[in-house]
Amino acid sequence: MNRYCLPLLGLLAALSLTGCAAKAEKPSPTPEPAAPSLSSPSLALPLPTPSPTPFPEPEEGNYFDNALFVGDSILEGVRQYVAAQRQEGEMLGTAQFLTTTMGISLADLVGDREVGVQFSYQGEEKPLEDIVAEIAPRRVFLLLGLNDLASDPNPVIPDIVTRYTNLILRLRSSCPGVEFIVITNPPKVASRWLPDYTVNRGFGNELIGAFADELRAVCPEWNIPYVDAYQALRDENGALPDDCCRDGFVHLNHRGAAAVVEALEAFAEGR
């Protein structure tokens, strides 16, 4: 397994396991063991009544200092871009990255799969809430969910969004005082080509767009801020531009990652 956690300065030389997936021709979520269907009606459990989450007090310094970015192979492309840019100067303050190329999903993180992928921190697999508590960031940005869409032949978007909100509620409970922010997923390129490991052969921009729409609708109900990377990266046809993709599928090259960073910086200015 190749997992990453970027130290404070974020230099590629300092990463614990650098670049294994970045060199792969078609990096992304890898095939996962057979798992229960993500469309099970039992997933649509009622959520607790949301409670207001106050905005953090005004702060000095870079908005991204003491921030943590958590995500799958989509965010790994952003991590690689930020690490490369930090060799020349500053980018996203002292933010750290916790990413994996092993096809991690929300179903894994909330325990909906009996044997699922977990994040690794300092060489040990741990629940995400334990890792966040140990790092103790001021805010956490989450970019997850595409593996839930791609690994089930019939994904149910409200159930996947329920997983997302349940994960954030659990993180809020175990890590009080930390702000959690969702980053919407980018679209895929217009081509209908899909890697063999993509179980859902209908995986495409209509599904990704519906997922982004549902997140934009639900996040405000739970006082969850979001950064709309989906809108930042979609072209006039609702697809990821080919020159923003590194594998003809959905994974970002430096140009695509730069668009995500621009969206993050615009979000920070508005906060």
Specify whether the CB–CB gap between 31 and 197 falls below 8 A. Answer: yes
Residue 141 near residue 93, CB atoms below 8 Å: no
Torsion sign (Cα): 66, 270, 229, 50: positive
pTM of the entire predicted model:
0.79
Domain membership of residue 205 (yes or no) is yes
DSSP tag of 244: G
Range of the domain at 142: 3-11+59-270
Contact 203, 149 (CB under 8 A): yes
| pLDDT of amino acid 116 | 81
Which parts of the chain have pLDDT scores under 50?
Answer: 1-56
Give me the number of domains the chain comprises: 1
* Residue 47 located in a structural domain: no
CB under 8 Å to 146, separation ≥6 — which residues? 29, 72, 74, 185, 208, 250
Digit-coded pLDDT (tens) for 117-168: 899 999 999 999 999 999 999 999 999 999 999 999 999 999 999 999 999 9
CA distances from 162 to 71, 76, 128, 176, 216 (A): 17, 24, 17, 21, 13
Give the pair of three-digit tokens for residue 85: 């840019």
List the structure tokens of 20. Answer: 């294994």
46 occurs within a structural domain: no
**Tell me, what's the pLDDT at 59?**
58
What does the pLDDT read at residue 13? 33
Q: Find the CATH number of the domain harbouring 93.
A: 3.40.50.1110
Backbone angles phi and psi of 86, in degrees to 5: -70, -15
User: Which of 87, 92, 97 has the alpha carbon at shortest distance from 65?
Assistant: 92
Instruction: Quote the CA–CA distance of 116 and 127 in Å, as a whole number.
Output: 11
Residue 265 lies inside a defined structural domain of this protein: yes
What pLDDT sits at residue 87? Answer: 97
Q: Tell me phi and psi for residue 166, to 5 degrees.
A: -65, -40
Q: Is 174 among the domain residues?
A: yes
- Note the pLDDT of residue 61: 83
Instruction: Give the C-alpha separation, 251 to 221, whole Å.
Output: 30
Any domain includes 38: no
Q: Are 55 and 64 in contact (CB under 8 A)?
A: no
154 lies in a domain?
Answer: yes
Predicted pLDDT at 33: 39
Burial 167-192 (b: 16+ CB within 10 A, else e): bbbbbbeebeebbbbbbbbbbbbeee
Task: Give the pLDDT score at 133.
Answer: 97
Residue 44 within a domain: no
Please state, in angstroms and rounded to a whole number, the distance separating the CA atoms of residues 205 and 147: 14
Numbers of helices and strands, H then E, in the chain: 8, 8
The pLDDT value given to residue 100: 94
pLDDT for the residue numbered 145? 98
